Chains A and B, each alone.
Chain A
Amino acid sequence: MSRVLLVDDEPGVLNALARLFTRGGAEVRTAPSAEAALAILDGFAPDVVVSDHRMAGMTGVELLRVVGARFPAARRVLLSGYVDIDVGDDVVLMAKPYVAAELLAACR
């Protein structure tokens, strides 16, 4: 878990996540939208991507599908308050509010 990309349109959530992973010793990048995340991915090969689902523009599920195609080895976590859709294979689904220990375990 060295290179982590975090995506959420809620700055408060993004800050809390960044603190959690930085303290865990990861190299962290954050993006406020899926589009911004894709731009970051051009120069950053992640080991872990944690994304919110409902965001303006591209959704988290769509983003993680692209990530899965480009970085098959990357661990993908969808963090969501409310979904009623299929998240896709190999994506870990986590309910908000997350439990820090559970989220870290899912990313290991």
Chain B
Amino acid sequence: MTVPASATFPLPDQPVRQARQLFIVANLFATVTFAALATDLGADRGAWTVTGLGALDAIGNLLVTTWAMARIGYRRAEDVRAGFNLVVLGAVAWISHWHFLAWLFVPFATSLAGVPKAPGGGLRVAALLVGFAALALATGGGHTELAAFAGLSLFGYLVIRAHLDFAERMLAERDETLVALTRAQELALSRDRLASIGRLAAGIAHEINNPMCFVTANVDDLLTDLRAEPALSPRLAPYRDDILPETQSGIARVNSIAADLRRFARGEPAVLADVDLSDEIAAAVRIARTQLRPRQALAASIAPDLRLHGLARQLGQVTLNLIGNALDAMVDGGTVTVTLARQGDAIELVVADDGPGMSPEVQAHIFEPFFTTKPPGQGVGLGLAVVHGVVTAHRGQIDVDSAPGRGARFTIRLPA
């Protein structure tokens, strides 16, 4: 009944892959820009130095993208890249006397630095911009160009951030949808499983009940007749005294299993009647009190006069089964709390304990007939199957909230 808590779908190495793809495009752009800048400058105004710096920049960025990223992690590699680009591209700008094409590297470098969604992206962009601005002011870059390209860089960064935010929201929504779908699917699966087990159980119960009907009657009649016999032969007396009574209790056990299976399968022949649920639950609590073991307590808070149309005896059995399970679980003592209250249109019955609780694996199967964690002879595994069948027959619903070491809480909602 539980869904794995985190059904998220990580995108492995996504930022690294993205950085590599961007690097290829960026390198193309940079090479073209460097070539144009060098041509425009001419050999006497530092074309070769600029070309050399361009090559250095390409190699540096290649090293950052491949070697450093694997070595020092994605975020620190981007920090290194930002610093490296600031120095090399700053040098290019200075040597070219802040040539128009050199200015292009400012928005270029900052937008690369702003791509990662990891924390620190904004700081890196800010540091780069401040660095370029300081360099420009110190080495004679034009104020107009500085304002224009800084503005362009900032704008580029904000556009990128908006896109990344959008993508992230889409991914989060996808995750949420997938988690909801998984949960719905698991619920449907467990409902389907219970429904098909229910059909099987109904068939078995029916086939057992028919012969058990006359087996029970015949053995009962035989015992009655033997008891009416004034002088029974020594051969037959043990049948009257031991064998048939023992046979009867065996028959009673079979009949009670068949009846429980039938309740689980919602096939018990019974007529709905007006039920005072408050009375029924109070009676079940009174019976359960007689079964308390040392250091066990049973607290009940039952709202009066809660009525519904249903099966009185079965609803009592539901309560007894739930309390019985709680008492069985609390081997070291504890408190069971039974609460019956109106909740809007429905009546809510809660049976909670502070026992050892259940693992998700156990919870996934508790409503199946014959599922038990108790040693043979101590539990048949029909208690909660009956609870489920009776609650469903009343068009109600049951929820379990439990974790190992945190007790168990069964909540039943019945339409009034």
Contacts and interface: CB of A to CB of B under 8 A. Distances in A.
A83 B269 contact: yes
A45 to B, nearest CB: 27
Contacts of B262: 81-82, 95
B413 interface: no
Contact of B270 (A10, A15, A95, A96): A95
Contacts of B214: 10, 12-13, 15-16
A96 B209 contact: yes
Interface string A13-53: 10111011000000000000000000000000000000001
A16 B267 contact: no
A102 interface: no
Contacts of B411: none
Contacts, number: 72
Nearest to B216: A97
B209 A84 contact: no
Which of A13, A95, A97 has the most chain B CB within a 10 Å cutoff? Answer: A97
Contacts of B269: 53, 78, 80-83, 93-96
Contacts of A12: 211, 213-215, 218
Q: Decide if the interface of chain A is mainly helix, strand, loop or mixed.
A: mixed
Contacts of B89: none
B271 A82 contact: no
B217 interface: yes
Main secondary structure of the interface of B (DSSP, over half): helix
Contacts of A54: 206
Interface in B204-242: 205-206, 209-218, 220-221
A106 interface: no
Chain B interface category by residue count: 20 to 34
B187 to A, nearest CB: 24
A96 B213 CA distance: 6
Interface in B266-295: 266-271
B206 A82 contact: yes
Contact of A97 (B213, B266, B270): B213
B205 A84 contact: no
B154 to A, nearest CB: 72
A16 B209 contact: no
A87 B268 CA distance: 13
Contacts of A95: 259, 262, 268-270
A82 B217 contact: no
B255 interface: yes
A100 interface: yes
B202 interface: yes
- Please name the 4 residue pairs, one residue from A and one from B, whose CB atoms are nearest each other, closest first: A12-B214, A81-B209, A16-B217, A16-B214
18 contacts: A10-B211, A10-B214, A12-B213, A12-B214, A15-B214, A16-B213, A16-B214, A53-B269, A54-B206, A78-B269, A82-B206, A84-B266, A93-B269, A95-B268, A96-B209, A96-B210, A97-B217, A100-B217
Interface of A: 10, 12-13, 15-17, 19-20, 53-54, 78, 80-84, 87, 93-98, 100
Given A12-B214, A81-B213, A97-B255, 19 more contacts: A12-B218, A13-B213, A15-B214, A16-B217, A17-B217, A20-B217, A53-B269, A80-B269, A82-B205, A82-B267, A83-B269, A95-B259, A95-B262, A95-B269, A96-B212, A96-B269, A97-B209, A98-B217, A100-B220
